[in-house]
Structure 1
């Protein structure tokens, strides 16, 4: 009687413990990309990835007001500080901003 070779028992098993770490790294990368996409869409920051120029005013009229402007590839961010009030510096009015019913803000220079 001939013995049959059982290919399942004689197969080479990959005993490298690092091979499972590579798979975990791939899963972590997919999770990180999905998390970034979810955060960008959740906070409506998709404008940062367009070619259009824009200006965003966060918390208008409050102490922590912030103005974010994108012109071409350059993004500038201005945070208001209340140092102008106490420094005795004086300024001049340079224009007026109007908010329309649809939420759009129009700046009219004087």
Structure 2
């Protein structure tokens, strides 16, 4: 009696070819590498390395976790952080002028003259 030899693939090899999502991991890795490369290219084109130099001047605005606006200004060696909030303040002071917001969003400040009228 002749024995029949069956040539079959191991089960691990079969299951790998049956998985339709097996290539997604490679796409994720490739897209992550592409994103990192694009970020590095963008930083080099925009000259963001100049932000770190000693004589650079820049201004950064951001919103903190509690909703306040924070303005960070670097002027050569000096860094200044200001927090802007919408709280109303009171006290004594002198009126300096009037600010107007134009339809395009630009704000114009008009100082008052010495006699108290603009």
- TM-score interval w.r.t. the shorter chain? 0.3 to 0.5
Q: Higher helix fraction: Structure 1 or Structure 2?
A: 1
Question: Normalising to structure 1: TM-score of the pair?
Answer: 0.43
Question: Normalising to structure 2: TM-score of the pair?
Answer: 0.40
Structure of greater Rg? 2
